[in-house]
Structure 1
Amino acid sequence: MKRYLLPQIQRDLEKKMVFLSGPRQVGKSTLARSLLIGDSGYMNWDTSEGRDTILSRNFEATPLLVFDELHKYRTWRNYLKGIYDSPARKAKILVTGSARLDLFRRGGDSLQGRYHLLTLFPLSFAELGMTSAKDLDQLLTLGGFPEPFLCGSAEEARRWSREYRTRVLRDEVTSIEQIVDLGNLELLMQRLPALVGSPLSLNAIREDIQVSHGSIRRWMDALERLYFIVRLSPFGSTKIKAV
Structure 2
Amino acid sequence: MSLLEERYLSNIISKMAFGFGKMAFVAGPRQVGKTTLAKDLLAKRGAGKYGTWDDKDFRKLWHKGPASLRTFLQSNGGTTTKKPIAILDEIHKDRRWKGNLKGFYDLYGTSFDVIVTGSARLNIYRRGGDSLLGRYFPFRLHPLSQAEILGKRADEPTSFIESIMSPSPPALQAGSVTKFERLLKFGGFPDPYLNQNDQFSALWRSGRLEKIIHEDLRDLSRLPELSQVEALALLMPDRIGSPLSVQSLREELEVAYDTVKRWLNYLENLYFHFTIRPFTTRVARSLKKEPKIYLYDWSEVEDHGARFENLVASHLLKACDYWSDCGRGQWDLRYLRDKDKFEVDFLLTNKNKPVVSFECKYSDDRFDPSVLKFAGQIGITNHIQIVAKPGIWQRREIDGLNILIASADAVLSLLV
Task: State if a TM-score over 0.5 links the two structures.
Answer: yes
The 10-residue stretch of structure 1 (132-141 or 97-106) with the greater mean CA deviation from structure 2: 132-141
The structure number with the bigger radius of gyration is 2
Inter-partner Cα distance in structure 1 for 2:110 and 2:14: 18
Identical positions, percent: 38
The aligned amino acid for 2:111 is: K
Q: Name which of 60, 63, 80 aligns with 2:74.
A: 60
2:24 corresponding residue in structure 1: 18
Q: 1:34 is matched with which residue: 29, 37, 40?
A: 40
Query: What is the CA distance between 1:74 and its match in structure 2?
Result: 3.0
Alignment of 1:181-220 (within 5 A): 181-220=225-264
Q: Which runs of 5+ in 1 are unaligned?
A: none
Aligned to 1:90: 111
Shift in CA distance, 238/89, structure 1 to aligned 2, threshold 3 Å: same
Q: Compute the displacement of 1:8 (Å).
A: 1.2
Which consecutive residues of structure 2, in runs of 5 or more, have no partner in the other structure?
76-82, 151-172, 281-285, 293-416
Is contact 1:33-1:39 (8 Å) kept? Answer: no
Distance 1:48 1:166 in 2: 23
TM-aligned CA deviation for residue 208 of structure 1: 2.1
Matched residues in 2 for 1:50 and 1:176: separation? 21
Structure 1 contact 43–53 (Cα < 8 Å) conserved? no
In 1, the alpha carbon distance for the partners of 2:101 and 2:229 equals 35
Q: 121, 137, 156: which one pairs with 2:200?
A: 156
1:142-200 CA distances to partner (integer Å, 9 max, x unpaired)? 11111111111122112111111111111122333343322221111011112222221
What is the alpha-carbon distance in structure 2 between the residues aligned to residue 239 and residue 81 of structure 1?
Answer: 40
1 or 2, which has the higher strand percentage? 2
Correspondences of 1:38-117 after superposition (within 5 Å): 38=46, 40-54=48-62, 55=64, 56-57=68-69, 58=71, 59-60=73-74, 62-86=83-107, 89-117=110-138
Residues 42/209 of structure 1: CA separation in 2 closer, same or farther (3 Å cut): same
Paired with 1:83 and 1:27, the residues of 2 have a C-alpha distance of: 25
Measure, in 2, the Cα distance between the counterparts of 1:88 and 1:234: 42
- CA distance in structure 2 between the partners assigned to 1:133 and 1:167 by the alignment: 33
Answer whether contact 1:14 1:92 (CA < 8 A) is retained: no
Q: Does 1:5 align with 2:49?
A: no
Measured at CA, do residues 177 and 45 of structure 1 come closer, stay the same or move farther in structure 2, by a change above 3 Å? closer
Going from structure 1 to structure 2, the CA distance change for 1:48 and 1:240 (only over 3 Å counts) comes to: closer
Q: In structure 2, do the counterparts of structure 1 residues 180 and 47 end up closer, same or farther at CA, with 3 Å as the change threshold?
A: closer
How many residue pairs get aligned? The number is 243
Distance 2:213 2:191 in 1: 19
> Which of the numbers 187, 202, 221 marks the counterpart of 1:177?
221
Residue 87 of structure 1 and its aligned partner are, at CA, apart by: 6.2
TM-score for both structures, normalised by structure 1? 0.91
Report the AA paired with residue 4 of structure 1. Answer: Y
- Asked if the contact 2:52/2:88 (under 8 Å) is kept, the reply is yes
How far has the Cα of 1:132 moved from its partner? Answer: 4.1
Contact kept? 2:93, 2:219, Cα under 8 Å? no
Contact persistence 2:74–2:84 (CA under 8 A): no
TM-score, L = length of structure 2: 0.55
The Cα shift of 1:18 comes to 1.0
Aligned amino acid, residue 171 of structure 1: E
Is the partner of 1:26 in helix, strand or coil? coil
Mapped partners of 1:148, 1:87: distance in 2:
39
What secondary structure sits across from 1:34 in the alignment? helix
Q: Could you tell me which residue of structure 1 aligns to residue 377 of structure 2?
A: none
Q: Which residue of 1 aligns with 2:140?
A: 119
- The separation in 1 between residues aligned to 2:47 and 2:113, in whole angstroms, is 15
Contact kept, 8 Å, 1:141 with 1:154, in 2: the verdict is no
The one-letter code sitting in structure 1 at the alignment partner of 2:7 is R
More moved, 108-117 vs 136-145: 136-145
Q: 1: CA distance between counterparts of 2:47 and 2:201?
A: 30
- Find the aligned partners of 1:39 and 1:185 in 2 and give their Cα distance: 42
Q: Distance in 1 between matches of 2:137 and 2:9?
A: 13
Higher alpha-carbon deviation: 217-226 or 55-64: 55-64
Q: Is the 8 A contact 2:48 2:84 kept in 1?
A: no
Deviation at 1:240, TM superposition (A): 6.4
Residues in 1 aligned to 2:94 and 2:180: alpha-carbon distance in whole angstroms: 40
